[in-house]
């Protein structure tokens, strides 16, 4: 299913191999297809990934924020880091308490997205987040694929998470009891 347009950004106007998909049975075994299906299932499973409004990062009356950004050291991003083009590793925590209305509380999980946009392997320190004291389950790691929650590797903050170059991870955490 994966393909290239050979650098053509106007492939929609090409009625030839540049814009055609190969739907043959052999191509249906492409790993990108099962990976994408797993991503769609995970988005359906996690209400916090289905907001219908922009996340702001602004504190509510209880000082909770819908999204918080962290550096590779597990600390909140500073204004200097935001403006430094050399900073290419970030993490974001989406708080489950801000899941859209109507979400099943039993299925609600907080999500941590970790991105390594550098050409080198990086060790992230998982942030210690207020009201998020449990372990984080690794659900997606782009070099390895997707993991079901029950069998996913887990990490406790301030644990370390290794990311190879140009990769990302998605971790989930169950709400506190």
Domain count, the chain: 2
**In tens digits, what is the pLDDT along the chain, a chain of 177 residues?**
566 777 777 777 888 888 877 778 877 777 888 888 899 999 988 988 888 889 999 988 888 888 999 999 999 999 999 999 999 999 999 988 887 777 776 668 899 999 999 999 999 999 988 777 789 999 999 999 889 888 999 999 999 999 999 999 999 998 775
Judgement on whether residues 108 and 145 belong to the same structural domain of the protein: yes
Judgement on whether residues 91 and 159 belong to the same structural domain of the protein: yes
| Domain limits for position 37 | 1-45
Judgement on whether residues 149 and 66 belong to the same structural domain of the protein: yes
The burial class, CB within 10 Å (0-12 / 13-18 / 19+), for 22 is exposed
Letter string b/e over residues 50-79, b meaning 16 or more CB atoms within 10 A of that residue's CB: eeeeeeeeeeeeeeebbbbbbbbebeeeee
Q: Tell me, what CATH number does 85's domain have? A: 2.60.40.1180
Taking CB atoms within 8 Å and a gap of at least 24, the contacts of 62-69 are 64/95, 64/97, 64/98, 64/131, 65/95, 66/94, 66/95, 66/98, 67/92, 67/93, 67/94, 67/95, 68/92, 68/93, 68/95, 68/127, 68/129
DSSP bridge partners of 138: 171
Judgement on whether residues 21 and 98 belong to the same structural domain of the protein: no
Q: What is the pTM of this model?
A: 0.83
Judgement on whether residues 157 and 136 belong to the same structural domain of the protein: yes
Judgement on whether residues 37 and 60 belong to the same structural domain of the protein: no
Judgement on whether residues 18 and 72 belong to the same structural domain of the protein: no
- pLDDT recorded at residue 101: 76
């Amino acid at each position: 299913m994966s393909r290239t347009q050979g650098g053509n950004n106007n492939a929609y106007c090409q009625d030839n191999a540049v814009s055609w998909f190969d739907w043959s049975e052999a191509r249906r075994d492409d790993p990108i297809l099962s990976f994408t299906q797993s991503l769609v299932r995970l988005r359906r499973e996690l209400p916090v990934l289905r907001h219908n409004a922009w996340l702001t990062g602004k504190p509510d009356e209880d000082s909770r924020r819908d999204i918080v950004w962290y550096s590779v050291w597990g600390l909140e991003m500073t204004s200097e880091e935001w403006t430094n083009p050399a900073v290419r590793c970030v993490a974001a925590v989406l708080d489950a308490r801000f899941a859209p209305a109507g979400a099943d509380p039993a299925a609600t999980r907080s999500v941590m997205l970790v991105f390594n946009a550098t050409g080198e392997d990086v060790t992230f320190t998982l942030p210690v987040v207020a009201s998020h004291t449990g372990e984080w389950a690794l659900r997606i790691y782009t070099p390895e694929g997707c993991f079901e929650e029950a069998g996913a590797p887990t990490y406790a903050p301030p644990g370390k998470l290794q990311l190879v170059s140009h990769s990302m991870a998605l971790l989930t955490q169950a709400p506190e009891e």
